[in-house]
Homo-oligomer: A and B are copies of this chain.
Amino acid sequence: MATADQSLFSGVPPQAVHLAFEAELAAFIDRHDVELLQIDNSLRLVTDAARQSVLAGGKRLRPTFAYWGWRCLLPSGAPGEPLLIRAAASLELLHACALVHDDVVDGSDTRRGQPAAHRQFAAGHRNAGWPGDADSFGAAGAILLGDLLLSWSEEMFAAAIRGLPEAPAVAATAQFDLMRTEVVAGQFLDVIAQARGDFDVAEARRVIEFKTSRYTVQRPLSLGAAAAGAGPELLTELARFGRALGEAFQLRDDLLGVFGDPALTGKPAGDDLREGKRTVLLALATHAADHSQRAVLQDGTGNPSLDAAGLDRLREVLVDTGARAEVERLIVESAESATEILRNADIRPDAAQALQELISAAAHRST
């Protein structure tokens, strides 16, 4: 089940925690597989897809940040740690829902180098030789699968968090609730920005804040810290840290989506450009472009049938306008800001060291 993806955190101890995330997720899915197959054998289509979407790789970023949020206050092996690890792992079910639904919304063909869930359901339909429209079946299956994963996320989270003392359990649940509202809000902002067709750097950065910084780093980190009993001051510091690190992470993601190696990223190079994804990179290029460069950007982005030569022309404009260099600069700036906040935060030294390694990994990764 391990993939190249997981190398992001190969340098960040403890490996046992990462294996525990996998084990918790596998045990949860196994249990629900039995439940579904007892209802009907045809639901193997669903259990297979759930397994694929949750257990076939992924960086486990959100569980990792939740774990290190907890470890900001508590040593390894503190009472409640197994429950926190289970609650943290549940965030991967939420994320699997987000990816499955995102791929339907974006009409994406692949995910982590495999066919996206809706394409898998459509292929299942075709292989079975069923009549009717395989693509509609694929979309329906993926929408339902995402709903199931979202319900399961909460089921797993609530069952684990209930075992902690009441006050920290309630505080962690509040972060979990905010996380779920904010990620949908961020996705809406993204979809609306895309629909409007006009956007600027400030708007692109705000989409990042909600769709990535808060969802991927800030809320998971705060959730773990709150579960360990963090007070409001530390939560505020961790929120600032999360925003900075999340921005570095997303900006790197945007560069990888355009300039990355598909063999490492697991997604076709240039798909972000073909989709017209509203990135800070693209906003900066649009802002700095001259007349002919702007024409290249307008013709090329959001064009699903853009060929390799067209992609290269776009990449050239992203480089020549200075947008790529500016994004690299912003990544360094965010990473330095995160480092500075970390240096002054009142947290355990082992957690500070791990979070520092996560900054480097997020800012400099190639997957």
Asked if residues A155 and B177 are in contact (CB atoms below 8 Å), the reply is yes
A175 to B184: give the CA distance in the assembly, Å.
26
Q: Is A123 an interface residue (CB 8 A)?
A: no
Contact with B along A167-192 (1 / 0, CB 8 A): 00010010001001110110111011
> Which residues of chain B come closer than 8 Å to A196, judged between CB atoms?
128, 130
The residue from B128, B144, B188, B192 contacting A191, defined by CB atoms under 8 A apart: B144
Contact partner, A105, options B42, B97, B132, B139, Cβ 8 Å: B139
| CB of A194 within 8 Å of the partner chain | yes
Known contacts A36-B181, A132-B194, A150-B150; is A144 also within 8 Å of B46 by CB?
no
Task: Write out, one digit per residue, whether chain A residues 184-208 have a CB within 8 A of any chain B CB (1) or not (0).
Answer: 1101110110111100000000100
Q: A105-B143, A147-B150, A150-B150 are in contact. Are A188 and B43 (CB under 8 A)?
A: yes
Task: Assess whether A39 is in contact with B197, with CB atoms less than 8 Å apart.
Answer: no
**Closest residue of B by beta carbon distance from A146:** B147
Contact A181 B151, beta carbon cutoff 8 Å: yes
Oligomeric state, in copies: 2
CB nearest neighbor in B for A125? B195
Q: A97-B147, A143-B101, A185-B43 are in contact. Are A180 and B195 (CB under 8 A)?
A: no
Chain B residue at minimal CB-CB distance from A209: B39
Looking at the assembled complex, report how far the CB atom of A159 sits from the nearest CB atom of chain B, in whole angstroms: 8
Residues on the B chain within 8 Å of A206, using CB: 40
Chain B residues in 8 Å Cβ range of A150 = 147, 150-151
The reply on A32 being an interface residue by CB < 8 A is yes
CB within 8 Å of B: which A130-158 residues: 130-132, 137, 139-141, 143-144, 146-148, 150-152, 154-155, 158
Whether A131 contacts B197 by the Cβ 8 Å rule is yes
Are A141 and B191 CB-contacts (below 8 A) given A147-B146, A173-B158, A206-B40? yes
Closest to A186 in B: B39
Instruction: Please give, as numbers and ranges, the residues of chain B lying within 8 Å of A21 by CB-CB distance.
Output: none
CB pair A143–B143 under 8 Å, yes or no, is yes
